[in-house]
Amino acid sequence: MLLQAFHGGPFVEVFATTGGKLPPICKTVGNVKREYDKTLKGFLLEVEGGRENRVCLPPDEKESMGLLQPNLVLQLFIPHGKAINLDLAVSDQSKTRRLLSFSSSHRDFKQTSPTMARIPFDVVRRGIWLNLCLDVRSLLQESFPGSDFCCIDAIALYPNCRLRRIFTARRALSDSAAFEDAGGGG
């Protein structure tokens, strides 16, 4: 997948809704629509409905994207009063694949097994477009003490949201800087 991509720059673009069709790194399941948004002057993916609907990167969950930069940025819109879930499969330095499961329905931070952690997702702002920047290295260390970040293997985004772009960053970014530097401004 992205194992051959150059990871030495400030950003690595993982997914964007530009162009005529979805990139081959992305698979949509169920009620996921690609539509044009006049206010953004661009395309986006709208993920609606139940948990059976999702956007998966990479399409084959057994493969790894091999994203080496530890900050994951999602440009998305989450409507008021709607649930949202995000799963990140992350490998640590011992090559153990761990799952960070973010959900607006989780009320507490909890390691549910040696390879899975539940993380509340209720503090994310709603009703506006935002750059959600996740420090995956810190989240992995907090969830699984002693684990050192190696790479992001897979991303699954569940309803309800609108997605424009996903990229990684070498360093943590301010919200506005991430949007402008990734080509999202204007």
Spatial distance between the Cα atoms of 97 and 122, rounded to a whole number of angstroms: 25
Three-state SS at 138: helix
Is residue 117 assigned to a domain?
yes
Is residue 94 assigned to a domain?
yes
Number of C-beta neighbours around residue 93 at 10 A: 10
Give the chain's radius of gyration (CA, Å): 16
Is residue 14 assigned to a domain?
no
Is residue 105 assigned to a domain?
yes
CATH number, domain with residue 47: 2.60.120
Range of 159's domain? Answer: 23-173
Is residue 16 assigned to a domain?
no
Is residue 130 assigned to a domain?
yes
Please state the pTM of the whole predicted model.
Answer: 0.88
Query: pLDDT truncated to tens, each residue of the chain (186 aa)?
Result: 455 566 678 899 999 998 778 888 999 999 999 999 999 899 999 999 998 999 999 999 889 999 999 999 999 999 999 999 999 999 999 999 999 999 999 889 999 999 999 999 888 899 999 999 999 999 999 999 999 999 999 999 999 999 999 999 998 876 554 444 444 443
Is residue 183 assigned to a domain?
no
Q: How many domains does the chain have?
A: 1
Residue given tokens 């992001």 in the structure block? 152
